[in-house]
Amino acid sequence: MKTHYYLGWFSNFFPEKLGKVLQEDITDRKSLTMISSNPSLYEGDGATERSWLDQAGIIFDEYHLINYRVQKEAAHTLIQNASVIFLLGGNTVEQNDFLMEYELSDLIKKSGSVVIGASAGAINMSAKWLCSKNFGYKVENSYVYDGIGLDDFSVLSHFDLENNIAMLQSELSPLSEKMNIYASNKDCAVRVKGEKIDISGNVYLISHSKIQKLDETL
């Protein structure tokens, strides 16, 4: 059964309930493979995300980080052997380019591992996402990127929703006519397990240009 976690960014650590659910879902703890969103940056990458798992008592036998120091073929092997695949937060566009350059997307889609993404990583796990200057990207014109497509929806993660609802609704309206968009702030998660979607924290659903706050189910 596929299990995907689309995380925001956590101020400290996972909320207790979310940590407990992750513990239950992650039964195979042989290998954690992390995918950089700043693949040219080699120091400290993934330390924060790993600390969240450590604090929740989720410890692995092996830890691996895929960046430009890892050859493409070796990266493919790490993905295929991973117990958990974690797409790190950081630069969404750089990570998207890296996924394409290293041809990782199809391997991740085919994997039976638990897949987790934080912020940029969560956005790139989704089917499509909007790159816009209103979301902090340094671009003049908005552009819709293809993500990995683990699930048939879009994600806007780690964004100040409450103060930007009108802009959010306007900006994302065209994409929301084609697919559901899950927009979350900090300390949030959308969990997909099989056909079931669960919510932790403040998450909004934008669908057919309408926006609604979702009830927490985790």
pLDDT digits (tens, 9 = 90+) for 91-134: 999 999 999 999 999 999 999 999 999 999 999 999 999 999 88
Single-letter amino acid, residue 90: G
**Distance of alpha carbon 49 from alpha carbon 42, whole angstroms:** 15
Q: What is the average pLDDT across 155-165?
A: 78
Whether 194 maps to a domain, the answer reads yes
Residue 95: domain span: 3-213
CATH at residue 97 = 3.40.50.880
In a domain, 218, yes or no: no
Judge whether residue 169 has pLDDT over 90. no
| pTM of the predicted structure, to 2 decimals | 0.95
Structural domain includes residue 150:
yes
> What beta strand segments (E) does 29-87 contain?
31-35, 62-66, 84-87
The pLDDT tens digits for 24-75 are 999 999 999 999 999 987 766 799 999 999 999 999 999 999 999 999 999 9
The pLDDT value recorded for residue 43 is 66
Helix (H, G, I), strand (E, B) or coil at 166: helix
Judged on CB neighbours under 10 Å (0-12, 13-18, 19+), 63 is middle
Q: Residue 84 and residue 15: Cα distance in Å, rounded? A: 20
Whether pLDDT at 182 is above 80: yes
- In a domain, residue 45? The reply is yes
- Our count of domains for the chain comes to 1
The burial class, CB within 10 Å (0-12 / 13-18 / 19+), for 23 is middle
pLDDT (average), residues 63-89 = 97
Q: Taking residues 186-205, what's their average pLDDT?
A: 95
